[in-house]
Structure 1
Amino acid sequence: MARILIVEDTPANMLLAGAILQSAGHTLLQASDAPQGLALAREHRPDLVLMDIQLPGMDGLAATRALKSDERTGGIPVLALTAFAMKGDEERMRAAGCAAYVSKPLRYQQLLAAVDDLLVHDAANNEQGVGS
């Protein structure tokens, strides 16, 4: 399965997301703030990043922009985790580089479906790039 980095500052949300992803067979990396998440992404190059949007200090959108602007991590898909699902939020997340978002509170099937969609989409893009 995939190696997934979760960047989440709320312990209960980290625990829930981690349990859901581990139950599906994924390997986890975990960070409680954006600088730690950026360092882990650069070092381990996960297959996917789950990024909380409301992080202390550097928020998740700024962290996503930093990931996307770095050649080492720019190709890693980012799934935003947000308590905000208001009009205009999706556009802001996509503009920062998020491929999709899941709203909180997290729901098991919704999170796994979004993760699977991004992993399958990313794998398809990588296969197309190999033959080009």
Structure 2
Amino acid sequence: MDAKWIITACFTLLGWLGHCQEKSTVVPVDCVNAWPRSLCNSTLKLYGKDICTKDHFFGRYECCVTCAEALHITVDKGKFEGKNNFTYYHPKCPNPTDAVMAAGGESWESWCKQWITEEEGPTICQTPLIQYRCYKTCNVACKP
């Protein structure tokens, strides 16, 4: 056998194995208040508890514990059972999407791919803002 053929076969096999490997699933961040409780409470006073279900980023990632309490949802060790449009997992699960930019309605997907592969690496998917913007690209779980 020719050495070039063996090297080519090895690289082909490695490429195939890499392609077949399933992308690992990222665990959703725990339900916590990223904002101070006083700011969460002030926002709820101003906009009402509906903001928790209408603004997924605010309700799930910025003031999750405060919203859960306002909606009478029990949080246990950072997890909760979603109800009344207040969800622990992406609202579109099992077919989540990346968030859409407010200006222009364009998906964050291309930005997510670049940021994850070229800038920070996959560990950035463990942060609330990135999970919100890049749920699909980060492959955040849709069920336990």
Q: Give TM class, smaller chain.
A: under 0.3
Normalising by the residue count of structure 1, what TM-score does the alignment of the two structures yield?
A: 0.27
Normalising by the residue count of structure 2, what TM-score does the alignment of the two structures yield?
A: 0.26
Q: Which has the higher contact order (CA 8 A, sep 6+)?
A: 2
More strand, by proportion: 1
